[in-house]
Homo-oligomer: A and B are copies of this chain.
Amino acid sequence: MERKEFRDLVSPEAATEAIESLSLEGGIDRVPLADAHGRVLVTRLDAELDVPGFDRSSMDGYALRAADTFGADEADPARLEIVGEVHAGEAPAVAVDDGQAVEISTGAVMPDGADAMVPVERTDLEDGDVLVRTGVAPGDNVMFAGADIAAGERALGPGTRITPREIGLLSALGLEEVPVRAKPRVGIISTGDELVRPGGDLDSDRGEIYDVNSYTIAAAVEEAGGEAVMYPHAGDDQAEMERVLRDAASDCDLVLSSGSTSASAVDVIYRVIEEQGELLVHGVSIKPGKPMLIGRLEGSAYVGLPGYPVSAMMVFRTFVAPAIREAAGLPEPASATITGELATQERSPQGRHRLVPIGLTTDGDGNTLVYPVDKGSGATTSLSDADGLVEVDADIDYLEAGKRVDVTLFSPETRPPKLFAVGEDDPTMNRALDRLERPRYLPIGSRPGLRRLREGVPDVAVVAGPLEREVDHELLGEWTREWGLVVPAGNPDEVTGLADLVDQPVTFVNRTTDSGLRSSLGLEVADLATARDVERHDIVGAIDGFDIGLRAHESPARRVAAGDADVALGLAETARQLSLGFVPLGDQPVRVLANPDRTDKPGVRALEGVLMDVLE
């Protein structure tokens, strides 16, 4: 097995410099005004006309000569002859002379001869004349041509980000097309024979998995202000991969691939860039991200990202997103970074600069807490459980709990969940979660849930079955669930209880020891051992499959449904949902325990209320 070794690792700073040295800029787009929102003006725009384009009445009333009103007041109004009217959108048909007035609407053109206007509220009509009960000066209540913005004035500067208010100014200038920076085109190449596009048929026996990185990175590219272009899946065919790579390079400003698990794909890309382009960086002293490639091909930039989703996202966010923003002319959103307090210590081996995926939560006082997410970077769920990353320098191997850290969020709009709960996976709890705003639930099982609650990071732990260890808590809600043995519909093996698993030649699928279901099963096993006067291991040793535990609560039952096992540990509700048979072994309590310091947190209060309602 031959593999590319990355021996000349460059520093993260050198990698950033290399990416900055690549030009990702697109050209200029001319977009219709209606599509200009969010884009960046490429040049200065000066006004080419006066706004307004005429002397404009600011109110409804009478246009007149200011001199005719001198000295007028409530008691001694000036009487003027009304010689006509002018409405918005029409040219005045009359002019105003001494002693005359013209009725005028807001926004209408001031007639010739008039130099001021009086609002209707300060006038009365009498015998067809208007009585003006106030004096005005020349220019009063008139917006002169160009008073808002005049021809020749600088309207908007280059680099201006176009928000609704700039749309307003561009509208006022009558522009229907706006010259904006083209979004950098970013080609996304997916390689690896095992990858299938979402929506396609998956053959798990062949080890196929859905392509996670392509759509994820495409969305992140768009969030950074780029235009993502997805290239057809190239598999591991080398000629095809080279063709796709060259196509993408000639059509895009930047090409991204995410490290295929297949060494051959990486080798093809490496070879093409090295021989036909320019390889600037092969390997960065960073974890994850060591095998990052940075180079040029066909006038386009190329960056190779790691293959695991969380790693790819972190490296993209740290190195690539800033370059795309820069090319798009967009600043980092103000909300894209926050600071928080480490909820637990973070210890890692020294030696390489590290990107640590983290989750966010808040304590009882609303302060932001930061905790490392370490489900394994291969897991797509750890991508959705992570809110951002913290960078840790190579010479730091330990960050103590309570230390303030800077967090780079994966998305500018990411905010801590309103409730952070962990523990047993349970259908009733899931229904409660559906009714909460922005909850986070990690179904890590009852035992780890209790441990995490004691460590003080989550707000709430959900514990099913016997409560083995005491933790300081406030009980938010409690219910029971029926558990037992899930069997095929009709119970073909005529299983009646745990003893049959010991005595009959049936295969069993268990849960992991983290689960409350497994704890309750353990009590039943102990009872059976006592009843038979044997050791516990005599019982479990006789059950085919007892030691193999699945992590998720429906997984054993689904094995039975698939015909891969005869009996599974599970819930009555699961058996019903999957139309399977069920042999009850008992009811187990499910308790929702809150961290006593968090009981006033709005998300915890909301959960309590929803549980009351759900459990009614």
Contact = CB atoms under 8 A, between A and B. Distances in A.
Interface stretch (A99-107, A538-546, A588-596): A99-107
A37 B223 CA distance: 9
Contact of A164 (B109, B171, B411): B411
Nearest to A170: B198
A209 B157 contact: no
Interface string A408-439: 00111111000000000100001001101111
Contacts of A413: 161, 163, 331, 333-334
A127 interface: no
A446 to B, nearest CB: 16
Counting every copy of the chain, the complex holds: 2
A168 interface: yes
Contacts of A230: 34
Contacts of A425: 153-154
Contact of A167 (B1, B106, B216, B434): B216
Contacts of A144: 550-551
A263 B61 CA distance: 13
Interface string A158-170: 1101011111111
Interface in A92-113: 103, 105-109
A174 B199 contact: yes
Contacts of A108: 194, 207
A211 B171 contact: yes
A478 to B, nearest CB: 20
Chain A interface size band reads 35 or more
Nearest to A316: B164
A167 to B, nearest CB: 5
B434 A207 contact: no
A157 B163 CA distance: 32
A89 B167 contact: no
B411 A220 contact: no
A268 B204 CA distance: 65
A202 interface: yes
Contacts of A216: 164-165, 167-168, 171
Interface stretch (A6-14, A48-56, A525-533): A48-56
B53 A165 contact: no
A598 interface: no
Interface string A370-390: 000000101111011010000
Given A107-B194, A164-B219, A172-B209, 13 more contacts: A37-B222, A50-B204, A53-B204, A54-B204, A54-B207, A91-B205, A105-B261, A108-B207, A146-B552, A152-B553, A152-B555, A153-B552, A172-B309
